[in-house]
Amino acid sequence: MVKNNIEVDIKVKLLEGGYTQEKLGTKIGTTSQYVNRIIKKKDGLLNKTFIQMMEALGYDIELVYIPRPDETI
């Protein structure tokens, strides 16, 4: 089981930092439309096979976000 909703986490981090999808897209070399499509994607960002393998091995997945010092978009 994945204990995070990565798409929601991205939205929250954008809002917390006062950033836009456009700024994020520029930072990663893509468009704001692509960022929006990823955030709204129903399948999620994590590879389903990876999740299945980890669960079969007896693990849940929990991501921890640690801010980098002086990192801005």
Dump pLDDT digits (tens) for 8-57: 888 899 999 899 999 999 999 999 998 898 888 766 667 777 888 888 88
Q: Could you tell me the end-to-end alpha-carbon distance of the chain, in angstroms, rounded to an integer?
A: 31
With a cut of 70, say whether residue 62 has pLDDT above it.
Answer: yes
Structure tokens at 47: 């590879």
* 47 neighbors 61 (Cβ within 8 angstroms): no
Structure tokens at 14: 């954008």
Strand partners, 2: 61
* 35 neighbors 25 (Cβ within 8 angstroms): yes
